Amino acid sequence: MKYLSITLLSMTLGGFGQSAYSEPESWLLAKYDLDGDAEISAEEIAEKKSRLFTLLDHNGDGTVAFDEYQSADQNKRLGLLQARFNKLDTDQDGNVSEAEYASYMGLFNRFDNDGDGRLSSEEVEQQHHSASNDTYCLLWFCVRKELQ
């Protein structure tokens, strides 16, 4: 929950723009277009960096020491690691059994369009091209339409 709060805090500080972006090239707009006008200004980049710096400066002394920088990075990584673990822990008992680990197929079923239990190069290539249509960004927060 701690890591979700950090993400929500950074989203709140960034504000929500007027539009969401779905083209694969729009990650830059999603990250830096703070007012949602589909343009990035030098002021928006500076504002984004200033907000992020404030989050990094845990003790509020106006500088970021290595331990503050490291802590922010570790919190981000721990949040991602926890999300991955939670996918594996299908019974949500706080432990991943060998059966849970072995049964997790990730995106395999999504790629296996014909359901034959094998991935052809065509299926992998088709998924690669369609993946850009499944990602949506709002400011610098991007999500996939369907998670497996």
Domain ranges across the chain: 2-144
Q: What is the pLDDT of residue 46?
A: 92
Burial class (CB in 10 A: 0-12, 13-18, 19+), 88: middle
The model's pTM is 0.49
26-73 pLDDT, tens digit per residue, is 777 888 888 888 888 999 999 999 999 999 999 999 999 999 999 999
In the three-class reduction of DSSP (H, G, I as helix; E, B as strand; rest coil), residue 143 is classed as: strand
Cβ count within 10 A of residue 138: 16
